């Protein structure tokens, strides 16, 4: 069964600090890995999408890494802001060109002043 596990479940950091969120997956065949940000009461918003051949991708202060050998990904947030408070969801796509996605349960990040 395809699974995506995220850690930690929740995290509290001070504004301006950096943090790293983890994602481990057992999805086969692997197609792509995505990170989404979900604000409370809103739908998820795409941050990055990486294919098998990509091992890092940035979107502003967000940098995602992918190690397809160990089936791990991380999302690094630099110089956190209060607006970064949200749930961050790791999503893995399976099959070439497939729409099949497996979602993690998310990491709830709280950035405090």
Partner 1 sequence: GAGVSQSPSNKVTEKGKDVELRCDPISGHTALYWYRQSLGQGLEFLIYFQGNSAPDKSGLPSDRFSAERTGGSVSTLTIQRTQQEDSAVYLCASSYRGKGEKLFFGSGTQLSVL
Q: Least distance in Å: CB of 32 to partner 1?
A: 5
Is the distance from CB of 21 to CB of 6 less than 8 angstroms?
yes
Out of 7, 20, 100, 110, name the contact with partner 1 by CB under 8 A: 100
Full DSSP string of 32-94: EEEEEEE-TTS--EEEEEEETT--EEEETTEEEEEETTTTEEEEEE-S--GGG-EEEEEEEEE
How many CA within 13 A on the CB side of residue 65? 10
Out of 61, 105, 110, 112, name the contact with partner 1 by CB under 8 A: 105
Out of 11, 13, 68, 101, name the contact with partner 1 by CB under 8 A: 101
Contact set for partner 1, span 32-91 (CB under 8 A): 32, 34, 41-46, 49, 51, 89
User: Where does this chain bind partner 1 (CB under 8 A)?
Assistant: 4, 31-32, 34, 41-46, 49, 51, 89, 93, 96-106
């Amino acid at each position: 069964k395809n699974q995506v596990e995220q850690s930690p479940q929740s995290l509290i950091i001070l504004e301006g600090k950096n943090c790293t969120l983890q994602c481990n997956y057992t999805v086969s065949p692997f197609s792509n890995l995505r990170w989404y940000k979900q604000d409370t009461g809103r739908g998820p918003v795409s941050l990055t999408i990486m294919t098998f051949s990509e091992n890092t991708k940035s979107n502003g202060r967000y940098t995602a890494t992918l190690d397809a050998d160990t089936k791990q990904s991380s999302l690094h947030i630099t110089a956190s802001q209060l607006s970064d408070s949200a749930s961050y969801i790791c999503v893995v796509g399976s099959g070439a060109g497939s729409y099949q996605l497996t979602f993690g349960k998310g990491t709830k990040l709280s950035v405090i002043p």
